[in-house]
Amino acid sequence: MAHVMETIVREAYDAFAKQDADHLFEFFTDDVRFHIPGRGTLAGTYQGRGELTSLFQKIDELTDGTFELEVQHVLADYEFVVVLVLSTAERAGESYEGQDVHIWRIVRGKLAEVWIRPEDQYAADAFFS
Rg from Cα positions in the chain: 14
pLDDT in tens, 42-97: 999 999 999 999 999 999 999 999 999 999 999 999 999 999 999 999 999 999 99
| pLDDT of 102 over the 80 cut | yes
Interior/surface letters 45-61, b for 16+ CB within 10 angstroms, e for the rest: ebeeeeebeeebeebee
The pLDDT score that the predictor gives to residue 129 is: 86
| pLDDT of 116 over the 80 cut | yes
| pLDDT of 1 over the 80 cut | no
Across the chain, mean pLDDT equals: 95
φ/ψ of 90, rounded to 5, equals: -130, 150
* Strand arrangement of the beta sheet that strand 28-36 belongs to: 44-47, 28-36, 110-117, 94-107, 80-91, 68-76
| pLDDT of 2 over the 90 cut | no
* Domains in the chain, CATH or no CATH each: 4-127 (3.10.450.50)
